[in-house]
């Protein structure tokens, strides 16, 4: 963990909600998910993401590319 930030509402009042930031210092990855160019096949890993509510999650099963706006 590198930093914990207390969130605020639209009026600037502190909430009992926090965002925690950290630094990845190492990973262990099954070599089956490493593409020939050395990148990770994220869709094949099917990572789980927490959604906005208490019981909603999503699995990543597709990846697409989008050009960043200038």
Single out the residue of 13, 23, 17 nearest to residue 5, CA to CA: 17
For residue 13 the two structure tokens come to 């009042």
pLDDT of amino acid 46: 93
9 forms beta bridges with: none
Q: What DSSP character marks residue 9? A: -
What are the tens digits of pLDDT across the range 15-30?
999 999 999 999 899 9
pLDDT of residue 53: 84
Residues 38 and 43: their CA atoms lie apart, in Å, by 15
Structure confidence at residue 52 (pLDDT): 81
The pTM of this model reads 0.56
Distance, CA of 15 to CA of 22 (rounded, Å): 21
d(C-alpha 10, C-alpha 68), whole Å:
28
The string of pLDDT tens digits covering residues 2-58 is 999 999 999 999 999 999 999 999 989 999 999 999 999 999 999 999 888 889 999
């Amino acid at each position: 963990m590198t930093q914990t930030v207390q969130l605020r509402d639209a009026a600037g009042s502190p909430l009992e909600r926090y965002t925690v930031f950290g630094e990845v210092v190492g990973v262990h990855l099954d070599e089956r998910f490493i593409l020939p160019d050395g990148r990770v096949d994220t869709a094949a890993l099917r990572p789980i993401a927490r959604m906005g509510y208490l019981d909603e999650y999503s699995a990543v099963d597709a990846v697409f590319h989008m050009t960043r706006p200038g």
